[in-house]
Amino acid sequence: MLKRKLGISIYPEHAPLAEIYEYLKLAHKYEYEILFVSFVHFAEDSTKDNTIQINETIQAIKYAHELGFYVITDISLRTLKMLDIKITDLKKIKEMGVACIRFDSPASAMTLANLTHNQYGLDVQLNMSGNDYLVDDILSYQPIIPRLSGCHNFYAQKNTGLTFDFFQKCNQKYITRKLETTAFIGSHVGNQGPSSTNKDMTTLEELRYLSCATQAKFLFYTNEIDNVIFGNAFATEAELKAVAEIDKYEIILKVHPCDDNSEVEMKILDFKKHARREESTDLLIRSSMSRYYFKKEAIKPKKTPTKFNQGDVVVINEQGGSYQGEMHIILQDNYEHQDNFYNLIGKIDPDQLPLLRFIHGWSAFKLEISKTES
């Protein structure tokens, strides 16, 4: 499996270079490794002189390269013409400090395959969000496969992002060929991007209003995305830090404990070996390992409702006999349980409820106890 990485985007035409440099240093501090920069939008209006903006973008790229960022630049054939660069000679691109060229609007499959053989070792990235057969066509022309990868688009306008089902269909074309994949999350504060609507620039529509950390977790927990990049700038330091601190590999959900929990109930919430049993049901996630670890502990019944909602975390009390200590996470609203052996011990943070779908049979997971009680 590829190492999972984080990245940011910059738009030097919208901010002084000094601010761009500070942002790059801040992201570098939190171990962000990828920088995404677009040249495509400069070529959209041929009547406008973007010389100054282009030169500042190149300066920012060089600075990022010096910091150690892997720089991806979004280009098109039109962009290359604007930069006076021939597609058969990418020396100028390499000298900027670019490591990877992403074709937003593709050239021919043969051209893109041949580009992977460039003498400067530049990687070639494809637009993943079209769910077309371009990648198949490119592979038929024998590219250098380790230099080929895919990256989704971001979508600034509300209700224009990809659905999860379509997103997964797009991903499969790259996953089955073992190609690296990338997708975008959006800062809720940054207002810089290639268009007039630049907040919340996500790949997936359902992520648009989730916290940045949950957006990143969602993409990584699919096990289909290798790299996650902020699409807009500037993300706040708090956003950068929150995303940098997530576990990119283990499923960890924030839980708000109930204020009447016993000591053993808190231990069960904090148990590090939770895993969903293989016999999955649509109603709940069943983690039974805790009942073996805490079988000698007394879990007394407490006042608990008989109707539960998605994200409620319950433990079976002593009235459940040999099942005492087993933990369940409810998956559906208005779930009724009349046997009186459920104790409500916590609630999954509402922002992270979409992550429950990634806890499959045999999936290991952990709960991170929030300092704020429910």
pLDDT at residue number 338: 84
Stretch(es) of the chain classified as CATH 3.20.20.70: 5-249
Q: How confident is residue 374, by pLDDT bands cut at 50, 70 and 90?
A: very low
Q: Classify domain 252-369 at the CATH superfamily level.
A: Cyclophilin-like (2.40.100.10)
What do you get for the CA distance between the two ends of the chain, in Å?
A: 37
Q: Which residues of 267-305 are buried (b: 16+ CB within 10 A; e: fewer)?
A: ebbebeebbbeeebeeebbbbbbbbeebeebebeeeebe
Mean pLDDT of 52-59: 93
| Integer Cα distance of 71 and 49 in angstroms | 25
Taking the whole predicted model, whether its pTM rises above 0.75 is answered as yes
- E strands, 112-222, where? 123-127, 148-151, 180-185
* Nearest residue to 185 via CA among 158, 219, 151: 219
| Integer Cα distance of 215 and 187 in angstroms | 10
Q: What is the mean pLDDT of the chain?
A: 94
Extract the tokens encoding 120: 């400067």
Extract the tokens encoding 4: 């999972």
The class (CATH top level) of 5-249 is alpha beta
139-189 pLDDT per residue, tens: 999 999 999 999 999 999 999 999 999 999 999 999 999 999 999 999 999
